[in-house]
Structure 1
Amino acid sequence: MNRYTIWIAALTLITAACAAPPKTGHRPPPAAEENVYMPAPAPMPAPAPKPDGVPRNGGTAKNYAVVEVFYATDRKKTESSTPAEVFGKERGPVTYGTCQVSIPRDHRIGELEAPSIWRLEFRENPEKHVVLLQVVPQDKDGYFADVASRVRTSTGKKLLLFVHGYNVTFADAARRTAQMSYDLAFDGAPVFYSWPSQGDVKDYLVDETNVEWTQEDLVAFLADIATRSDAQNIYLIAHSMGNRALTRSFARLAEDRPELRQKFKEIILTAPDIDADVFRRDIAPHIAGEDHPVTLYASAADKALIASKKIHGYPRAGDAGAGLILLPGIETIDATAVDTDFLGHSYFGEATSVIADLFSLIHKDERPPRRGLQEVVTPTGRYWKIAR
């Protein structure tokens, strides 16, 4: 089988997985004895609406909450006024702003509710779905002033920065950030950085090119976040191909501005689509340390990374099994057993057990031995398993 045939087969696998019927219904809440955090925010009285009528963060509108998240993006702005189409897939200068995203009142942890033809839903409805309602551009100074203001109101002056992966639109990055922030009951500033992913399963190679191109912009943004946000505890979360940009950019920042390293409380790598050998040799030594361990979630059931391995010919850093990453300063979590969708690639935001683990890490500053994970000791190192 030649490389082109492997490429087509891998894309077919991903396409088939992405086209699979969505999960129906909601997951039942886990039993109390499982000690899984299940935040259920009580309805809050709506503060004064903004001039456009959209409630501020935490406010309510009918049967949904509105979560405000901050964005930075080097996608080119379009001419569209439709929130989901304000930013396209072309490269552009870095711009800043906020997004308002709806979270249905009957939202369940791990669900990124969206219209489904299987339920005869053909339009987004904020009362049923996680919807990008509004995009509000800001100038850089105003943006960081607002980010700092949000940070100062949080316990511990916290900021969470999410970098999305391959095949993700700006709108979906905003939706995922709001959902994670809501599910984690994060009280600091939720921020996402959106690089110009094409948002199309067939454009993997274009995304690979753009995730490399974006690194210079991301280095500068990480420096600004560290110096202009007033955050004392910054949590970095990357998914899939987004790990390439985040890890390389952070390594650059740590080398150029070592005094900023202490601002970054956690680096969390989920399903990293990075060559495993490259990660071991070129990346891990520059981002990990005994005083600042990196958390890496991996899975042997991740079909997207299985496809990536077929395309590239080598294991990925997010693979579990025989090639699991075991390195000093890296706390590796095997999430193979978690309940997730058919593709098994977005468990970081979908599986209640993973979200509960992230909650313990972010809110309680607990390392794996205290998070109820199963320790596995091997001749080459130890790792932890997360239950279903």
Structure 2
Amino acid sequence: MAAWTVGWRAAACALMLAVCGCARTDGALTPVAAGAAGTDTVDMLVATTRAPSDRPGVIFNGERGAGLSFANIVVSIPPERAPGTIQWPQQGRADPARDFAVTTLTPVPRSGVLDWFKNVTDGKARRRVLIFVHGFNTRFDSAVFRFAQIVHDTRADMAPVLFSWPSRGQVFDYVYDRESTNYSRDDLASVMRTAARSPYVSEVVVMAHSMGAWLTVESLRQLALQDGRVPAKVSNVILASPDLDLDVFRRQVMEMGKDRPRITIFVSRTDKALEVSRFIAGGVTRVGAVDLTQPENLAQLEVAQGIVAVDLSALQNGDALNHSKFATSPDVVQLLGDRLRAGQEIEGAQPTSGAEAAQMVGATVGSVAAAPILIFTGGAGN
């Protein structure tokens, strides 16, 4: 036990050093007046199982709440900013001219959720919805601003819904965070079911990062077991750097049944955060760090139709840990935006079967053709 503890703390300390530059003070979500010239806005619905906070500008903390809470948050995006980046308020209140800033923060009762979906249709008959589930070590303010950045940079014309579960935002609270995802399974399933049943929604796409992928896949599995299938409107699931046991993931997907959504996985063999997770998990391969060049890994994925794995290992632009390339790499953000706007699958081609589908591709992935991307499409089984 002592050796395990020393090893885990050493690995976690290395991870902490890599992210220490992201330290921030509280209060980033304190609402400010809108109106800065050239800014854009992202109007999102937030569903959270976090406990409310009485600290100004924090809104929800990392502890577990008594139930599911909803809020409408509007985030202002400054005009001069590189894609994939978040400009955090430095001190005191945010300045919308240079910072991400909250301009509207309104609690939403459960009875008002359907009205929110209705109001964001902008006169259209129905609208597509994007649900985002954040990962491990994520404070509430980080989840809000990261999702606002993704929605803005992808330019996807979708109604944004953030599902935020109780993460303490501390690197040593991995186990607490993991249990918090289990705590939140019913609630995420409820949010997905509510969106799918809304007459104002035409399609639901779910995007999950890191540990949030475990929560997402488990909630989808739960919906399938409870309702007989995943709701038909839940058409696509995007798992970015999923912190998921490969063996467990394969069984979860099969237990969703044949009427399951298409699943796209963004992986990287150089993901430093998932190296730590693998150490904690006793050396078991994480889905987000799977090596697509190894036949045994392809065999795990090829049993199910509708699974596409996109290997981003060779991409150099992104975060220092190679754990958030889906949001921080301008190339991948553009790829995501192109596909989300068009309602297309990520690889943009007809699925092929088996290990022969693993190949180096170029034009298939459009905007990232200059970088080697390894794509695998499963389909040998059911």
Instruction: Tell me which interval the TM-score lies in, with the shorter structure as reference length.
Output: 0.7 to 0.9
| Residue matched to 2:320 | 342
* Aligned pairs (5 A) from 1:206-217: 206-217=176-187
| Residue matched to 1:364 | 342
| Residue matched to 2:380 | none
- SS at the partner of 1:262? coil
Relative to structure 2, which stretch is displaced further, 101-110 or 132-141? 132-141
Distance 1:53 1:210, change over 3 A: closer
Does residue 87 of the first structure (1) align with residue 73 of the second (2)? Answer: no
How far is 1:379 from its partner? 4.2
| Residue matched to 1:46 | none
How far is 1:270 from its partner? 0.6
Q: Distance in 2 between matches of 1:365 and 1:74?
A: 30
| Residue matched to 1:302 | 271
| Residue matched to 1:68 | 43
- SS at the partner of 1:61? coil
Q: Distance in 1 between matches of 2:288 and 2:343?
A: 23
- 1:238 pairs, out of 208, 215, 237, with 208
Matched to 1:286, the amino acid is: E
Matched to 1:86, the amino acid is: I
Distance 1:383 1:333, change over 3 A: farther
- 1:127 pairs, out of 97, 100, 104, with 97
* Aligned pairs (5 A) from 1:1-388: 2-20=3-21, 54-55=33-34, 60-80=35-55, 82-83=56-57, 85-92=58-65, 93-115=67-89, 121-123=90-92, 124-151=94-121, 153=123, 157-228=127-198, 230-258=200-228, 261-280=231-250, 282-287=251-256, 292-313=261-282, 314-321=284-291, 322=294, 323=297, 326-327=301-302, 328=304, 329-338=306-315, 339-370=317-348, 379=355, 382=358, 387=368, 388=371
Q: Distance in 2 between matches of 1:72 and 1:293?
A: 24
Contact 2:167-2:180 at 8 Å conserved across structures: yes
Contact 1:288-1:330 at 8 Å conserved across structures: no
Distance 1:54 1:70, change over 3 A: farther
How far is 1:269 from its partner? 0.6
| Residue matched to 2:377 | none
How far is 1:90 from its partner? 1.5
Q: Distance in 2 between matches of 1:150 and 1:21?
A: 33
CA deviation profile, 1:117-173 (whole Å, cap 9, x unmatched): xxxx54543222223444211111223211232136458611100000111111111
CA deviation profile, 1:45-79 (whole Å, cap 9, x unmatched): xxxxxxx9855xxxx53352232211011111122
Q: Distance in 2 between matches of 1:368 and 1:4?
A: 40
Matched to 1:76, the amino acid is: A
Contact 1:160-1:235 at 8 Å conserved across structures: yes
Relative to structure 2, which stretch is displaced further, 332-341 or 146-155? 146-155
How far is 1:326 from its partner? 2.8
How far is 1:224 from its partner? 1.3
Matched to 2:84, the amino acid is: G
Matched to 1:264, the amino acid is: V
TM-score, length basis structure 1: 0.80
- SS at the partner of 1:165? coil
Matched to 1:11, the amino acid is: A
Show structure 1 runs of 5+ residues with no match.
23-51, 116-120
How far is 1:332 from its partner? 0.5
Distance 1:148 1:156, change over 3 A: closer
Distance 1:287 1:350, change over 3 A: farther
Show structure 2 runs of 5+ residues with no match.
24-30, 372-382
Q: Distance in 1 between matches of 2:353 and 2:210?
A: 26
Q: Distance in 1 between matches of 2:345 and 2:147?
A: 23
Q: Distance in 2 between matches of 1:232 and 1:195?
A: 25
Contact 2:121-2:200 at 8 Å conserved across structures: yes
Matched to 1:302, the amino acid is: D
CA deviation profile, 1:305-331 (whole Å, cap 9, x unmatched): 011111112110101324466333210
Q: Distance in 1 between matches of 2:9 and 2:172?
A: 9
Task: Give the fraction of aligned pairs with identical amino acids, expressed as a percent.
Answer: 27
| Residue matched to 2:378 | none
Contact 1:7-1:311 at 8 Å conserved across structures: yes
CA deviation profile, 1:249-287 (whole Å, cap 9, x unmatched): 01111232246621112111110001111112x212134
